[in-house]
Amino acid sequence: MLAQPAQKYRPFKGAQLADRQWPNRTIEKPPIWMSTDLRDGNQALIDPMSVETKLTFFKEIVAMNFKEIEIGFPSASDTDFQFTRRLIDEGHIPEDVTIEVLVQARKELIERTVESVRGAKRVIIHMYNPTAPSFRSIVYKTDKAGVKNIAVQGTKWVMEATAKAPEVEWVYQYSPEVFSGTEIEFSKEVVDAVSATWQPTPENKMIINLPATVEMGTPNTYADQIEWMHRYIERRDSIVLSVHPHNDRGTAVAAAELAVMAGADRVEGCLFGNGERTGNVDLVTLALNLYTQGVHPGLDFSDIDKVRKLVETCNQIPVHPRHPYAGELVFTAFSGSHQDAIKKGFAQRKDGEIWEVPYLPIDPKDLNRDYDAVVRVNSQSGKGGVSFLLQQKAGLELPRRLQIEFSGIVQKINDETGKEMTAAQIVDVFQQEYFGATQGFEYVACHVSDSKTIAEGMQVEVELVKQGEAFTVVGEGSGPIDAAVTAINKVVPAGVSVVDYHEHAVREGADGEAVCYVELKVGNGRPVFGVGRHKNIVVAAVRAMVGGVNRAS
Ligand SMILES: CC(=O)SCCNC(=O)CCNC(=O)[C@H](O)C(C)(C)COP(=O)(O)OP(=O)(O)OC[C@H]1O[C@@H](n2cnc3c(N)ncnc32)[C@H](O)[C@@H]1OP(=O)(O)O
Ligand SMILES: CC(C)C(=O)C(=O)O
């Protein structure tokens, strides 16, 4: 890298717009969406899509509810020509969907393009030519007038060619390519000349598309350019103002959003931002950003994994695991404090309320994503995450101090292995630690009686085995726990005292079970937990106590 990059690169200068209005606006309705996956996305693939793949992709884009779809560049390749014909001849285009085809401002290519869509109901014919200074001097070796003439002449060729196919309802779209790098007054001059030639009306609008062919400045500079054009181009009421951001600086989504605030009616882009170089603007992120503001985007991403897999298969490019809304890891928290907040958010949440779960800007369920993946446990995790998974997977609602005790056990394993622990593994470890603690006393059975002859009110008989020897201890107390403590104390000389006790049901109804968590101390030892589960709550409590005594020793 250069020590002085200013010797090689100059800062981008956008439109002069001192009284810009867009910063005070919000987006309250979705723009018109146009998917260019089959054109701009396709032209950037290592292996462009086959006709069959394009057809599969097209049908799914339709199912997502796109009403405008750029299907290709039919004059460029036989594949695109054949695909266009198949869509039309086999009737794959729904009544309310308009296909779009791209072409350069070249007569023979325009004629071939018109031929490719003969018989279609409605078509957007999209012509482009570059207008930026470097293209004028490097690619065309011409001046502003020369470039403007290409645009106007191309428009006339489109008018002539489309007039020969009157069965099609034609919509004209013009793009001054590299609008982002073209002097703004010159962009207006070219666009005005094109619309003066085509003569759109408020009833028969044309589309003026202003591409950030290469993203050149911060997104606010694009918004300024769009607002400038929105205010000053001629025949604005007869024009659908469209934007086509690319992502060279990684800010295409922001640029598109600010451009809509600045007056754009329509956005062109690709699913997950496929496209030339760093890609086109990502329509999934744009649409779901709107959704999280309470505005329905009009597109259906209610099975986001299906959309992701489709795009990965058709493009042969993976979607990044941290891609907004769709990546494999984007609804997953590994770190302790995040898990803790998410767990509390879910616990407080009631159906029908406004979504407010910390760290999750959208409910994964709305995209058919599972809550399972929300919390994953590794050495960065804390008690919140561990207990969340136990609750989700096994229905266990651990009291706070047990959460602390058990997460210490999990943490130790994670530190040793350095690996993630799955929910099933955590449940396993919990079961081994708390339900499998049989060293010491083995619980066999217990019997509870509350006859009037029992002085303390209740009697519990506990049958145990220790080192192969079976015996029974009996205790009385004001309640079953009390009585069980008295009974067990008879075989634990150091003395057992209950510090805390919690219970809850794990399943409702006839097959319901109770889980008891007993925190106890043996002698002067530190408090430990025992956990028991059984249909009968007293049995669950006695089991918890026996388990706790075993763990304490
Ligand atoms: C920003 C974008 O994404 S724009 C879309 C880009 N997509 C594609 O290019 C994919 C499809 N294109 C192709 O397959 C080819 O370019 C074709 C088949 C259309 C044309 O191929 P060729 O005739 O061999 O032309 P090639 O692309 O090599 O050269 C471009 C020529 O067209 C001219 N040209 C390029 N774009 C345009 C345009 N929009 N309008 C008019 N002329 C143009 C160039 O100046 C050059 O002219 P020259 O031959 O006099 O130097
Ligand atoms: C053809 C135009 C709209 C284009 O793809 C671009 O400029 O990026």
Contact criterion met (CB below 8 Å) for 345 and 364: no
Closest Cα to atom 7 of ligand 2: 213
CA atoms within 13 A on the CB side of 239: 27
As a 3-state breakdown, the chain gives helix, strand, coil percent values, each rounded to 5, of: 40, 20, 35
Long-range CB contacts (within 8 A, 24+) of 166-170: 167/118, 167/119, 168/117, 168/118, 168/119, 168/120, 168/121, 168/122, 168/123, 169/121, 169/122, 169/123, 170/122, 170/123, 170/125
CATH code linked to domain 32-315: 3.20.20.70
24 assigned binding-site residue: no
Q: Which of 84, 100, 104 has most ligand 1 atoms within 8 Å of CB, for mutation? A: 104
Closest Cα to atom 6 of ligand 2: 213
In the numeric block, the tokens 């393009």 are attached to: 113
Q: Is the CB of 444 under 6 A from ligand 1?
A: no
Q: Is the CB of 135 under 6 A from ligand 2?
A: no
Q: Which of 102, 113, 182 has most ligand 2 atoms within 8 Å of CB, for mutation? A: 102
Closest Cα to residue 360, out of 369, 303, 305?
A: 369
- Enter the pTM of the model: 0.86
Ligand 1 atom at minimum distance from 73 CA: 11
The burial class, CB within 10 Å (0-12 / 13-18 / 19+), for 435 is middle
Whether complex ipTM tops 0.90: yes
Q: Is the CB of 129 under 6 A from ligand 1?
A: yes
List the beta strands (DSSP E) in 201-281.
206-212, 239-245, 266-269
Give domain limits for the chain: 32-315, 336-367, 383-436, 441-552
Q: Is the CB of 492 under 6 A from ligand 1?
A: no
CA dist., res. 313 & res. 272, Å (int): 13
From the CA of 280, how far away is ligand 2's center (Å)? 9
Instruction: Say which amino acid occupies 93.
Output: I
Ligand 2 atom at minimum distance from 178 CA: 7
CA dist., res. 194 & res. 202, Å (int): 16
Strand, coil or helix: what is 134? helix
Closest Cα to residue 228, out of 24, 33, 21, 23?
A: 21
246 assigned binding-site residue: yes
245 alpha carbon, closest ligand: 2
For residue 475, the cross-strand partners are: 460
Closest Cα to atom 2 of ligand 2: 177
Instruction: Say which amino acid occupies 165.
Output: A
CA dist., res. 440 & res. 547, Å (int): 9
Ligand 2 atom at minimum distance from 211 CA: 7
Do 32-315 and 383-436 have matching folds? Answer: no
Q: Look at the domain 383-436 and name its fold.
A: Arc Repressor Mutant (1.10.1220)
From the CA of 265, how far away is ligand 2's center (Å)? 17
From the CA of 321, how far away is ligand 1's center (Å)? 36
From the CA of 211, how far away is ligand 2's center (Å)? 6
Rg (C-alpha) for the chain, rounded Å, is 34
CA atoms within 13 A on the CB side of 304: 24
Cβ of 63: how many Cβ atoms within 10 Å? 13
Distances (CA, A) of 175 to 82, 155, 242, 282: 25, 11, 9, 20
The burial class, CB within 10 Å (0-12 / 13-18 / 19+), for 395 is middle
Measure the N-to-C terminal CA separation of the chain; round to a whole number of Å: 65
Q: Which of 39, 106, 152, 246 has most ligand 1 atoms within 8 Å of CB, for mutation? A: 106
Residue 526: alpha-carbon gap to chain centroid: 46
Ligand 1 atom at minimum distance from 128 CA: 39
Q: What is the pLDDT along the chain (553 residues), one digit of tens a residue?
A: 999 999 999 999 999 999 999 999 999 999 999 999 999 999 999 999 999 999 999 999 999 999 999 999 999 999 999 999 999 999 999 999 999 999 999 999 999 999 999 999 999 999 999 999 999 999 999 999 999 999 999 999 999 999 999 999 999 999 999 999 999 999 999 999 999 999 999 999 999 999 999 999 999 999 999 999 999 999 999 999 999 999 999 999 999 999 999 999 999 999 999 999 999 999 999 999 999 999 999 999 999 999 999 999 999 999 999 999 999 999 998 888 898 899 899 989 999 999 999 999 999 999 999 876 788 888 888 898 899 999 989 999 999 999 999 999 999 999 999 999 999 999 999 999 998 766 789 999 999 988 767 777 889 999 999 999 999 999 999 988 899 999 999 999 999 999 999 999 997 667 789 999 999 999 999 999 999 999 999 999 999 999 999 999 8
80 assigned binding-site residue: no
Ligand 1 atom at minimum distance from 40 CA: 3
Q: Torsion angle, CA of 166/168/169/172, rounded to 10 degrees? A: -90
Helices marked H in 95-183? 107-116, 133-134, 144-163
Closest Cα to atom 1 of ligand 2: 128
Whether domain 441-552 has CATH 3.40.630.30: the reply is no
489 assigned binding-site residue: no
